[in-house]
């Protein structure tokens, strides 16, 4: 039994040595054979590549063409404008009774039939908010008539219900008579969109102005 142990001992040691060397070689192999994982390349810079590609480009010379002048404004239809103004003038006629046009001492007041009494009372007391104003100082009779018609038309388009018209007290007119004041009264009575009007309160112009209540254009 002692001889067999001593005979097998060298062979066993040699086998162990071979196994040990194989294990060392196997352990060293991954460090030398395997490489670091591959890193993806960053995407190419498109604008940078484009600038490099056109770096040698030369701008084209300006075209040999005459520049066109800006378009002319459309001609103003002067005759049409004159016709429209004439329509406004004809739409509001002057009072046929000249004595009524220069009458004095009367407070301006008018209410169309069917207008509620409460609305008229509210107009007299200044309860309506004044949403527009027209000053006729310095206008001739025809100028005032055109200006008044155009102003009322604009108020109807914009749905203004209560406006003030300043006609003055006539101190600067011939014989110091309020001609324009009474013309305004006559013109307003011809407009179907005028429901009522009255002399303005003292704080709103007194005898030199009239406050007008208009129909609602939204109805």
Q: Tell me, what CATH number does 96's domain have? A: 3.30.1370.110
Domain membership of residue 205 (yes or no) is yes
Provide the pLDDT for residue 135. Answer: 94
- Rg for the chain, CA atoms, rounded: 51
* 169-198: pLDDT as tens digits: 866 555 556 678 889 998 999 999 999 999
How does residue 96 score in pLDDT terms, banded at 50, 70 and 90?
very low
Provide the pLDDT for residue 175. Answer: 58
How does residue 87 score in pLDDT terms, banded at 50, 70 and 90?
low
Judged by DSSP in three states, 136 sits in coil
Domain membership of residue 16 (yes or no) is no
Provide the pLDDT for residue 98. Answer: 38
Domain membership of residue 47 (yes or no) is no
* 137-176: pLDDT as tens digits: 888 888 999 999 999 999 999 999 999 999 988 665 555 5
* 9-40: pLDDT as tens digits: 555 667 667 767 777 776 665 544 455 555 66
Q: Which residue is associated with the tokens 């107009």?
A: 123
Q: Which backbone phi and psi does 133 adopt, to 5 degrees? A: -150, 140
Neighbours of 200 (CB within 10 A): 22
Q: Per the structure, how many domains does the chain have?
A: 1
Domain membership of residue 45 (yes or no) is no
The parent domain of residue 205 ranges over: 78-214
């Amino acid at each position: 039994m002692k001889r067999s142990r001593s005979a097998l001992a060298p062979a066993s040691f040699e086998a162990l040595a071979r196994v040990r060397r194989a294990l060392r070689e196997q352990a060293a192999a991954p460090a030398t054979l395997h490489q670091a994982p591959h890193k993806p390349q960053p995407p190419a810079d498109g604008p940078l590549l484009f600038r490099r590609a056109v770096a040698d480009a030369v701008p084209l010379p300006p075209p040999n063409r005459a520049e066109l002048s800006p378009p002319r404004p459309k001609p103003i239809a002067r005759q049409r404008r004159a016709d429209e103004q004439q329509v406004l003038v004809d739409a509001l006629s002057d009072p046929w009774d000249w004595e009524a046009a220069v009458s004095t001492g009367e407070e301006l007041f008018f209410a169309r039939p069917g207008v509620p009494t409460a609305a008229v009372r509210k107009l007299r007391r200044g309860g309506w908010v004044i949403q527009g104003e027209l000053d006729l100082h310095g206008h001739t009779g025809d100028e005032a008539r055109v200006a008044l018609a155009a102003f009322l038309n604009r108020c109807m388009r914009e749905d203004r219900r209560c406006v003030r018209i300043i006609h003055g007290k006539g101190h600067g007119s011939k014989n110091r008579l309020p001609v324009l004041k009474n013309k305004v009264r006559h013109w307003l009575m011809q407009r179907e969109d005028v429901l009522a009007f009255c002399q303005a309160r003292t704080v709103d112009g007194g005898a030199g102005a009239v406050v007008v209540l208009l129909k609602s254009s939204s109805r």
